[in-house]
Amino acid sequence: MGYGGRPKAELVLSTEERLVLERLANRRKSAQAMAMRARIVISCAKGRRKNNFPLSG
């Protein structure tokens, strides 16, 4: 079954952006919602498809 909609632009992170997101995702004092968003962005930048995100560290 194909996916509908327009093709998505590739998400490319700079080294600095990736480091900031990894710090947010792994920091104990980060709000859990922010940490999850950071993990989702990192996963998308690695080329993972929608709904295929790691939900924990």
Three-state secondary structure string covering 6-48 = CCCCCCCCCHHHHHHHHHHHHCCCCCHHHHHHHHHHHHHHCCC
Is a pLDDT exceeding 80 seen at residue 54? no
As a whole number of angstroms, the distance between CA 35 and CA 31 comes to: 6
% pLDDT > 90, the chain: 42
Give the confidence band of 49 by pLDDT, cuts at 50, 70, 90: low
Q: Who contacts 9 (Cβ-Cβ below 8 Å, separation ≥6)?
A: none
CA–chain centroid gap for 24, Å, is: 11
Could you tell me if 54 and 43 are in contact, meaning their C-beta atoms sit under 8 angstroms apart?
yes
pLDDT at 24: 93
Q: What is the pTM of this model?
A: 0.70
